[in-house]
Chain A
Amino acid sequence: MKVAMFQQAPYRFLPADFEQHYAACVTPRYRELADTPGITATIHGMLDELLLGARSGFDGVVLTEHAQAAYDITPNPSLPGAVLANTLRTEDIDAALILLGRSLGKTREPLKIAEEYAMLDVLSGGRLVAGFPVGLSYDANINQGIPGVDTRGRFREGYELLRRAWAADEPFAFNGRYAQYAHVNIWPRPVQEPHPPLWFPGSGNPATMASVLDEDAAFVLLTWLGVKVGGQGIFDRFWEMCEEKGKEVNPYRVAVVQVCAVAETDERAEREYGPWLERGFHHGLGSIPHHFFLQPGYVPLRGLQGMLRATGDPGIGARLHEATFAELAEAGCVIVGSPATVRERLEAVCRDMKVGNLLAMLHMGEMPHELAEKSIRMFAEEVLPHVQGMWDREGYEHRWWPTGIPETAGAVA
């Protein structure tokens, strides 16, 4: 199993009772809550922790894109991505740079994403995983002003343009519905052949999963709920579809985020990390109002009817603003404990769901930097080596992982 470190950049100094005074973490006023020391520690802490992870043996580092929000201050992941890319190259660290990623549903400059990803592939020495999220509704529709009904059309068109721009030998004109370019001839191009691995984050929409399989790309379940809760029903469906389409059931086709924390003992891990993780959920996804995820037009009518008609217990995902650490741990949203506990639980859920790429989220919310570093070190030393070999015996080929610059790559004759 590949295990990468998944990192966001939550503002690390929100007040403990933030959720009682602010309606949402996607609209609070910057100057009311943030200051220079705080924002510096937030952004630097995020980068330092990722670098520590890369240097400690994680198979990759993962970044996401979210603008105008307190829970992930990464308006363009290509920027920290460039810092990481250069470090991977200069320190010869064999880790993947996984961007999940620049949003083609949100952007008004799709060609810029083709260029940025190509640039990052060069900078990192062919270690880029190119992620293609549609973009969350509040981010695409509110922050970027894209009409909800255009989000998916823009995504599809932008992706088509990007693939053509990467592959084309001859310059071409692109007459899209949303973007028009008279002359597409981007420099540089990705250095991986034929292109960097393609990963598609989603939340389990069957249509999305089907197109991921058709594209022979990897599917990423981008959630804070973890493998067990987040993946319930979704991975079963994915593997069913995989078989229906006659594709190999290969765990490396899927990746999923899992919040983890490691300390010397279960008791100590709970005591040290529990309060921070609980706050992280309350102040992060728990503080995004429902309608910000569902701006009118973002979800097509039929899908919306299905969502609204669904009966039954919405589960812990609907209570992230108030869920206690005990509830989060019990449900499996967080896997926290001694190295042995974390190993055992990770192996169990990943084997159960056939997960080949684990994206471990080791920092959340206002967790102090030193504590995050402790968790990263302990995870790297005492969990990683045990879970990395999880699928080795089965002999699956990982076709969705960066190759580096191919040895056959030569000069233009």
Chain B
Amino acid sequence: MATVTGVREEIVPVGGGRLDMRVQVRGSGPPVVFLHPAGGFAWDPFLETLSEQRTVYAPLVPGVSPADPDAIDEVRDLFELVLYEQEALSALGLEGADLIGASFGGMLACELQATFPGMFGKLVLFSPIGLWRDDAPVTNWMMTAPEDFPALLFADPAGEAARAMLTLPDDPAARADAIAAATWAMGCTAKFVWPVPDRGLDRRIHRITAPTLVIWGRDDALISSVYAQEFGRRIKGARVELLDGCGHALHIEREQETLALVRAFLA
């Protein structure tokens, strides 16, 4: 993926100076917060385009930044992560900002909204994890062999979107670092969802008061689209949109449709 220009990083001390939250920022216009999925953060085409009209703030889960991998040791559990995220967003003056969360980030966005009802703006969820049905278990992505990842994330694993996201650098060292970074990011985020991505959100999700849009790919192989309705009926007034021919990484695979839905909803 080509390097995206105009990105800056805010370093925000949280937890009484215990650790720094790193927040990537790009664009102009009203702020929107993007909470990244389990595999880490990248300025993908969706976010790049979104940042043309909005200022996108992307807080990284501690440890996910290769500049400070040990930061994950300073976060004990999901509750602390939620507090640190809120502290960082508040410090950046982002109370009232809309939240978009993808997959793991979707769960985190729900936790923020449920813990601090009314503090943030609208809520957009891209195939979030966080709920559990025994009859539709979330695929164990940690046990998935690397070669099976494309089919886990995309309805069309051979498609252009999948290739653009998953193609690794040619340079062997850069390639090694990219795999290491994604693996470590999954390790950091797993701390809050492993081994079963159910940390009791079901018992708090009713506290969410924000207008909510839930988007899901009908062909999601990681977490079945039956969960779209699970989120939809638990969050009062939530709107649910299902995308045809679309897998888990929906804002990559259906970038334009997702952008249109998000822009209209946040307008």
Contacts and interface: CB of A to CB of B under 8 A. Distances in A.
Contacts, number: 75
Contacts of B179: 308
B145 A289 contact: yes
A33 interface: no
Contacts of A304: 180, 183-184
B204 interface: no
B66 interface: yes
Contact of A301 (B69, B146, B190, B194): B69
Interface in A137-155: 141-142, 145, 147-150, 153
B190 A296 contact: yes
B178 to A, nearest CB: 9
A149 B176 contact: no
A175 interface: no
A184 interface: no
A301 B87 CA distance: 26
Interface in A149-182: 149-150, 153, 177
A408 interface: no
A294 B190 contact: no
Interface residues of B, number: 30
B107 to A, nearest CB: 15
A297 B190 contact: yes
B69 A300 contact: yes
Given A142-B143, A150-B191, A308-B176, A297 B69 contact: no
A142 B141 CA distance: 11
Given A147-B194, A289-B145, A296 B172 contact: no
A145 B194 contact: yes
A147 B191 contact: yes
A296 B142 contact: yes
A309 B175 CA distance: 8
Interface residues of A, number: 25
A205 interface: no
B176 A305 contact: yes
A297 B187 contact: yes
Contact of A296 (B69, B70, B183, B196): B183
Contacts of B175: 308
Contact of A295 (B76, B142, B172, B180): B142
A311 interface: yes
Contacts of B194: 141, 145, 147-148
B173 interface: yes
A177 B143 CA distance: 27
Contacts of B142: 141-142, 148, 295-296
A141 B188 CA distance: 13
7 contacts: A145-B196, A148-B190, A148-B194, A149-B72, A292-B143, A295-B143, A309-B172
Interface of A: 141-142, 145, 147-150, 153, 177, 289, 291-292, 294-298, 300-302, 304-305, 308-309, 311
Given A142-B195, A149-B73, A302-B69, 20 more contacts: A145-B196, A147-B191, A148-B187, A148-B194, A150-B191, A177-B76, A295-B142, A296-B183, A296-B185, A296-B186, A297-B186, A297-B190, A300-B70, A301-B184, A304-B180, A304-B184, A305-B180, A308-B175, A308-B176, A309-B176
